[in-house]
């Protein structure tokens, strides 16, 4: 269903592009030599020989240029559809002026529909022009692609329908993606097993420091949390939850988890903040944004035996990261971990 919707959308877009290409081709074919009209030595050039895409009763304009090749200064006007319009009050010999021919599209106009303007230029008497004359000519051009008001309204309706269809396609695609996301979230809510690198951290002597100076300790905690969350995010991890000064993180990669821990300790030592970090790699259950299983318990217990300012990792993590993180390791052997029947070997990062 999703593929069909996408194919329909592509077909519509291709049709629009094809129409635009056809329009451009028509433009090239219709481009001809600019029409020129003469009234003795008065020359008038139109910017185009056809005015297209017009609507009945609408006001339109056509650009034109008048060249005075006479020996006299001329005053020119044009008449069209019962109106007289000024072109120039005085154009000297050898000069030119641009003007607009203004007209309304006639109601009974049918293609090809010809529009004619009558141009009159009067010489201005002077020493160099003792015998003034009148110069007259008709300037004509055609109207094409003429629409009625109903055609114009119909065009807007078609565009509206096309926009609505595209909107429906986009909405259908978004719903499809949202449904897939909902299914994925449902699977996560129901519980999904996954191999994860679990990180636990907490601050040394947090409860005691809160009792001594609550405000100072909380500010210290906020600096620690801000730095830790940012670094975990930069290493493609996520914060699962925070409890007081303890933070639980989750990584898809053991290497990223250890690199994150190393960077956290380096930064916090500059801030004179000492924390313990424990990391374990295990098969855990992801459910409703939380993580459960023995792997979580082992990571938590490793953190609990860790010295402040240090990073302890399980043997499973060590096997994944040795030779990949640029640090040394000290084998601490198997340490007793509360409620863990078969505790793994623990390694300290030097």
What are the boundaries of each domain within the chain?
2-8+33-147, 192-349
Note the pLDDT of residue 29. Answer: 40
Query: What topology does CATH give the domain 2-8+33-147?
Result: Immunoglobulin-like (2.60.40)
Note the pLDDT of residue 105. Answer: 93
- Cα 265 to Cα 28, 226, 260, 311, 333: the distances in Å are 70, 13, 9, 8, 23
Sole residue written with tokens 């979580």 = 296
Note the pLDDT of residue 31. Answer: 47
Q: How many CB atoms lie within 10 A of CB 31?
A: 11
Distance CA 300, CA 321 (A): 20
Q: Taken in order 124, 126, 132, 136, is the CA torsion positive or negative?
A: negative
Note the pLDDT of residue 80. Answer: 95
What class has domain 192-349? alpha beta
Note the pLDDT of residue 30. Answer: 46
Sole residue written with tokens 């895409």 = 53
Q: Encode the chain (350 residues) as per-residue pLDDT tens digits.
A: 555 666 666 666 666 666 665 555 555 444 457 899 999 999 999 999 899 989 898 999 999 999 999 999 999 999 999 999 999 999 999 999 999 999 999 988 878 799 999 999 999 999 889 999 999 999 999 999 888 877 666 667 888 888 888 988 988 888 888 777 655 555 554 578 899 999 999 887 777 777 788 888 778 788 888 888 999 999 999 999 988 788 999 999 999 999 999 999 998 888 778 899 999 999 999 888 899 999 999 999 999 999 999 999 999 999 999 999 999 999 999 999 988 888 999 999 99
Distance CA 28, CA 176 (A): 44
Note the pLDDT of residue 156. Answer: 72
């Amino acid at each position: 269903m999703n593929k069909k919707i996408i194919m329909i959308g592509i077909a519509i877009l291709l049709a629009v592009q094809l129409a635009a290409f056809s329009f451009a081709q028509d433009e090239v074919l219709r481009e001809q030599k600019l029409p020129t009209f003469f009234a003795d030595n008065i020359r008038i050039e139109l910017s185009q020989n056809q005015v297209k895409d017009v609507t009945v009763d609408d006001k339109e304009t056509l650009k034109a240029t008048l060249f005075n090749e006479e020996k006299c200064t001329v005053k020119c006007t044009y008449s069209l559809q019962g109106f007289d319009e000024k072109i120039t009050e005085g154009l000297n010999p050898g000069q030119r002026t641009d003007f607009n021919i203004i007209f309304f599209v006639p109601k009974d106009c049918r293609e090809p529909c010809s529009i004619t303007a009558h141009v009159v230029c009067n010489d201005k008497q002077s020493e160099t022009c003792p015998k003034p004359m009148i110069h007259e000519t008709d300037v004509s051009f055609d109207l094409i692609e003429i629409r009625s008001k109903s055609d114009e309204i119909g065009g807007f309706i078609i565009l509206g329908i096309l926009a609505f269809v595209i909107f429906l396609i986009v909405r259908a695609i978004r719903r499809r993606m949202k449904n897939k996301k909902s299914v994925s979230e449902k699977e996560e809510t129901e519980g999904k097993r996954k191999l994860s690198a679990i990180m636990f951290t907490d601050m040394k002597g947090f409860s005691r420091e809160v009792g001594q100076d609550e405000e100072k300790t909380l500010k210290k905690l906020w600096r620690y949390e801000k730095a830790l969350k940012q670094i975990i995010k930069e290493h493609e991890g996520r914060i699962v939850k925070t409890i007081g000064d303890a933070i639980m993180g989750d990584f898809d990669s053991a290497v990223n988890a250890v690199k994150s821990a190393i960077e956290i300790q380096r930064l916090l030592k500059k801030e004179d903040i000492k924390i313990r970090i424990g990391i374990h790699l295990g098969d855990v259950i992801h459910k409703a944004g939380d993580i459960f299983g023995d792997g979580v318990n082992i990571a938590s217990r490793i953190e609990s035996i860790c010295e402040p300012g240090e990073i302890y990792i399980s043997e499973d993590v060590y096997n994944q990261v040795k030779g990949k993180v640029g640090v040394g390791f000290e084998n601490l052997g198997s340490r007793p971990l509360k409620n863990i029947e078969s505790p793994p070997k623990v390694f300290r990062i030097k």
